[in-house]
């Protein structure tokens, strides 16, 4: 019998507790049906942790995440946090660095019955480097990557390393081998010649080790336009941190809705499932939130665990989630309000649990 898998559940802020409850209900249903051996352990982060512990990410929660097999984290309302020196840490960003979750994997595909907004349907995955780039909380060993020498001058440091570029490229090419064997590397080397040049050097070196996978290169600005014009041409899209953050939101919205956008943050030893969207505090507690993004992300976490531990029942659980979500999305009567339906968060979750039971 396989050892239990510990999943750290961090509900987050805004709509986070509502959609996290939906994802937890899904995991519990599949655990019971398929014998997944999940042990779900809930820990406070964000505003709830700040009120109790004086920090948005208590040290003991970080340690619990480090000791877990996987993490499920709800959206964070960072705008509501105090400065870092007053306890306002970004739990998502901090865990990405602390656990070396260097690969942010964000699939986008058109779904039957739901209009997509580009000219062609899409089925692609954006593989985004997750631990450096222009993100101020991830680019420095000490301090942050933004600073102000004077009251009227602000500077930002971008970090690109050969090692991080190389390993995210390997992740993209390995993923492409399981799909349509094509990687598109997105860059802006015509302007950022040094940092983008280093990035492309490493990507091309990795590509030479995968002769069965095609590499193409695309400027980030034209890539944004081509996602609208002809998204069907793309398979695995490889990007640095900020480009991937922006392009993945664009791709998700073009494919149908950001509310359907799944995401995992993966490293060699840890994986964290996270909705691609924000905490939407304006609708928190109103039974209006769409849980699909976090539910699909939880499914991706199960898929990652299946590959890591060689357990087919976990892969089966991920496939059940995908199929059941598809069955609800294509039926207007079983969609959430943001997708043109009439269901609230709790009613949609009940409908999904029913679909999982019949799957």
Which residues are known catalytic residues?
135, 188, 221, 245, 249
Rounded Cα distance between 152 and 154, Å, is 7
3-state helix/strand/coil string of 267-279: CCCCEEEECCCCC
Our measurement of the distance from residue 152's CA atom to the centroid of its chain's CA atoms, rounded to an integer in Å, reads 35
Distances (CA, A) of 336 to 27, 113, 204, 220: 20, 14, 43, 33
From the list 196, 219, 56, the residue with the least C-alpha distance to 137 is 56
Rounded Cα distance between 297 and 107, Å, is 10
In DSSP notation, 183-244 reads EEEEE-TTTSHHHHHHHHHHHHHHHTT-TTSEEEEEEHHHHHHHHHHHGGG-SEEEE-HHHH
């Amino acid at each position: 019998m396989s050892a239990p898998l510990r999943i750290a559940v961090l509900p987050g802020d805004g709509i986070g507790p509502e959609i996290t409850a939906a994802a937890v209900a899904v995991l519990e249903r599949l655990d019971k049906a398929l014998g997944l051996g999940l042990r779900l352990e809930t820990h406070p982060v964000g505003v709830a942790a700040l009120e109790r512990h004086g920090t948005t990410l208590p040290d003991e929660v970080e340690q619990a995440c480090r000791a877990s097999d996987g993490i499920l984290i709800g959206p964070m309302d960072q705008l509501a946090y105090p400065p870092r020196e007053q306890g306002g840490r970004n739990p998502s960003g901090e865990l990405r660095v602390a656990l070396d979750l260097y690969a942010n994997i964000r699939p986008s595909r058109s779904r039957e019955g739901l209009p997509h907004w580009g000219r062609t349907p899409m089925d692609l995955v954006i593989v985004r480097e997750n631990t450096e780039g222009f993100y101020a909380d991830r680019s420095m060993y000490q301090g942050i990557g933004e600073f102000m020498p004077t009251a009227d001058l602000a500077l930002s440091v971008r970090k690109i390393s050969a090692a991080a570029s190389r390993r995210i490229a390997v992740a993209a090419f390995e993923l492409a081998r399981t799909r349509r064997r094509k990687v598109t590397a997105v860059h802006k080397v015509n302007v950022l010649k040094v940092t983008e040049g280093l990035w492309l050097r490493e990507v091309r070196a990795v590509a030479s080790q995968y002769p069965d996978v095609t590499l193409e290169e695309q400027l980030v600005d034209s890539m944004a336009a081509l996602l609208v014009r002809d998204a069907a041409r793309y398979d695995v899209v490889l990007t640095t941190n900020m480009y991937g953050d922006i392009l993945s939101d664009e791709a998700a919205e073009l494919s149908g809705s950001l509310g359907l956008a799944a995401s995992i943050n993966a490293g060699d030893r840890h994986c964290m499932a996270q909705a691609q969207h924000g905490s939407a505090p304006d609708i928190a507690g109103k039974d209006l939130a769409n849980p699909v993004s976090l539910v699909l992300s939880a499914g991706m976490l199960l898929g990652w665990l299946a590959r890591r531990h060689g357990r087919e029942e976990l892969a089966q659980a991920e496939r059940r989630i995908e199929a059941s979500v598809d069955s609800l999305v294509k039926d207007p009567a079983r969609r959430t309000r943001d997708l043109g339906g009439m269901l609230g968060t709790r009613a949609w979750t009940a409908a999904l649990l029913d679909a999982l039971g019949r799957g």
